Amino acid sequence: MSDTVSSQTVIAESALGGVLWDMDGTLLESEKLWEIALSDLSVRLGGQMTEATRVAVIGASAPFALATVFDALGLDQHPEAVAEAKDWMYARVGELFEDGVRWRPGAQEALATVREAGLRSALVTNTERSLVDRAMVMLGPEFFDQSVCGDEVAFGKPAADPYLRGAHLLGLEPSQCLAVEDSPTGTESARAAGCAVLVVPCEVDVPAGPGRIFRKSLVGLSVHDLRDVHASAAR
């Protein structure tokens, strides 16, 4: 293989091929809805959700969030009780979704920008399919080639599984993908998978670290910005 062909292959393998979008707190102002549902659930279970618990469950999978709430309230995690709590929590979030959920600033335009540029796109979320299908009506299924939900992987964020699956479904290596995240949990997941990360914090600060570039919002985000962030974070 010539040096020219070899260098072209390296460039192709490192170039931005797709964008992997988190949903809650990144595209939609829905982290608040989960906070309300978990706070209401805590009251239903006989306690109150503390600030420490609220921060701990931001961006978390349903099993982790429920385990955290049960632990914080000093409750035994009997399978039947946890299953009942999960059903109630998802029903409550569904009600809140029906009342309306807002876009994060610039998110709708950013999705359109990625689609118009011909980049592949996937939704990668810890939220389970039953709610994602409802949210997709608002998000616009035409903006996504694939989607990965929390109940479709062995381990949710912060494990690497969701982002590994997202890249795989797009036919890309994780290194060819830019993840867009708002939380420490999601950022850890994307980095564990080998993705560069554009971090747009929402509810809590995300620690600085390798492979992540920060931006205040998605407003005005261009394809050039995405390629630049991907290249900078991948260094």
d(CA 14, CA 190): 16
Asked whether residue 8 carries a pLDDT value surpassing 50, the answer given is no
- Are residues 219 and 174 located together in one domain of the fold? yes
- Are residues 159 and 55 located together in one domain of the fold? no
- What is the tens place of the pLDDT at every residue in 40-50? 999 999 999 99
Asked whether residue 14 carries a pLDDT value surpassing 80, the answer given is no
Please say which residue of 56, 73, 99 terminates a domain.
99
- Are residues 219 and 112 located together in one domain of the fold? yes
Q: Higher-confidence residue: 67 or 13?
A: 67
- Are residues 89 and 131 located together in one domain of the fold? no
Asked whether residue 11 carries a pLDDT value surpassing 60, the answer given is no
Q: 137 by DSSP, 3-state: which? A: helix
- Are residues 141 and 199 located together in one domain of the fold? yes
- Amino acid 56: pLDDT: 85
Phi, psi at 19, each rounded to 5°? -120, 130
d(CA 9, CA 138): 39
- Are residues 136 and 95 located together in one domain of the fold? no
The domain in which residue 121 lies consists of: 3-29+102-233
The contacts of residue 89 (CB under 8 Å, 6+ apart) are 37, 38, 41, 62, 65, 66
- Amino acid 106: pLDDT: 97
- Give this prediction's pTM: 0.82
For 179-197, what is the mean pLDDT? 96
Band (123; pLDDT cuts 50, 70, 90): very high
- Amino acid 13: pLDDT: 53
Q: Which of 29-38, 98-107, 218-227 has the highest mean pLDDT?
A: 218-227
d(CA 15, CA 176): 6
Asked whether residue 233 carries a pLDDT value surpassing 60, the answer given is yes
- Are residues 92 and 38 located together in one domain of the fold? yes
- What is the tens place of the pLDDT at every residue in 18-38? 999 999 999 998 878 888 888
Please say which residue of 99, 128, 145 terminates a domain.
99
Asked whether residue 1 carries a pLDDT value surpassing 70, the answer given is no
Q: Higher-confidence residue: 24 or 235?
A: 24
* CATH code for the domain of 24: 3.40.50.1000
Q: Higher-confidence residue: 6 or 183?
A: 183
- Amino acid 138: pLDDT: 87
Q: Which residue has the tokens 């608002």?
A: 138
- Are residues 215 and 123 located together in one domain of the fold? yes
Q: Do the Cβ atoms of 182 and 59 come closer than 8 Å?
A: yes
Asked whether residue 169 carries a pLDDT value surpassing 80, the answer given is yes
Please say which residue of 81, 99, 117 terminates a domain.
99
The structural domain count of the chain equals: 2
Asked whether residue 2 carries a pLDDT value surpassing 70, the answer given is no
Q: Do the Cβ atoms of 58 and 203 come closer than 8 Å?
A: yes
- Are residues 114 and 77 located together in one domain of the fold? no
Asked whether residue 80 carries a pLDDT value surpassing 50, the answer given is yes
- Are residues 35 and 21 located together in one domain of the fold? no
Mean per-residue pLDDT over the chain, rounded: 90
- Are residues 175 and 70 located together in one domain of the fold? no
- Are residues 163 and 218 located together in one domain of the fold? yes
Q: What's the DSSP call for residue 157?
A: T
- Amino acid 10: pLDDT: 38
For 201-228, what is the mean pLDDT? 94
Q: Residue 168 class from Cβ within 10 Å (0-12 exposed, 13-18 middle, 19+ buried)?
A: middle
